[in-house]
Structure 1
Amino acid sequence: MKISDAEKQALYKVIYSRRDVRKDFLADEIPNDVLARILQAGHHAPSVGFMQPWDFILVTQEQTKRVIKQGYEQARLESAQQFAQDKRSDYESFKLEGILEAPLGICVTCDRNRNGPVVIGRTIKPEMDLYSTVCAIQNMWLAARAENIGLGWVSIIHDDVLREALDIPEHLDIVAYLCLGYVSQFETKPELESLGWLPREDINQLIHKEKWRPKS
């Protein structure tokens, strides 16, 4: 099946306009058919040995979100101490999650034992199942953007908080907690780039021919 020029341009538009959304969420619920498309996009990600190690836990209850939010706040304070003083105040001023504002949370896990201990493609690099799960998340991120839905990845939280709040068994690895919802606007640039936290790297300094060479 050949991709048309219009479809190709639409794909690149989605890629370049994808954002890690942490604010401007609206209260509107995501329709079931739209959510199903986003989850199916995740489920159609490439996976090592076709093991499909992911599960998706949908979170809508306010009480559960408040427990997760409290865990985030504790981790945020802990994380702030790791930054140098000149960066700490900037870090503390950033809004880095939308746990309560987003109408939907999705916790993505990885079952590293799914389909047995020996998996094609994971025999030498056992972490490939985790990378596969991240591919599923990226598919969901792009699908959400195509649906004009914001998605943000909350990584500043300890796994044990999510494990207890969501009854996640010990044998599952927790890969991500995501916040999803319609938003009032999408930023034109990644927020941390706009705020001057870090610039976008020059891709010409990241491409190496034949062998790796240090950046000039």
Structure 2
Amino acid sequence: MLSFILVVIVLFLIPGPAVLLTISQTAQGGRKTGIITGIGIAVGDLIHTVAAVLGLSAILMTSALAFEIVKYLGASYLIFLGIKSILEKSKKQEQTALKKRSTVTSFRQALLIELLNPKTALFFLAFLPQFVQNNGTPVVIQLLILGLTFVLMSILYTTLLAFLTSSIGERIFANKNGKLARWQGKVMGSIYIGLGLQLVFQNQK
């Protein structure tokens, strides 16, 4: 378990889609939004863990069609969010209050983004079994414990990111008349679109 925790910490230190999503959502909607986004990502990871335990993720590994379908659904959703963010911001530049995303919306978006990333499913299918030991404990139980540990660590990490990012985001975007504030929607939208395009070019193996 100690080895697993250390490896997960190293993985967290490598910026990925979850990190970018949490930071962008926090900068746009505040600390609470960032924390809820992290929880949404973690719940998506938990579902991937259960799917891996049940063997469902193996379908994505063996079926090129299934992999492509999930990949393009996820990419389309990310690009849609990006375009929506850019257009909404351009229509509301004259408002004086920073629009806060609802926690339900933030959670739902993060959950769907994580679920519709086939690479995440394959990651859990390939990563978790490496730490299973022949100690008499059923493999299913070990996989679930490892998955839950990963999920809890993910929540702690994204919550820390939200706290670190929130004060910076508030300072940058608090003044609606500032140049950076006027570009907020474009920046966040570009991040979503970039993640979507990155997903498009992912390969099955």
TM-score, normalization: structure 2? Answer: 0.24
Greater share of strand: 1
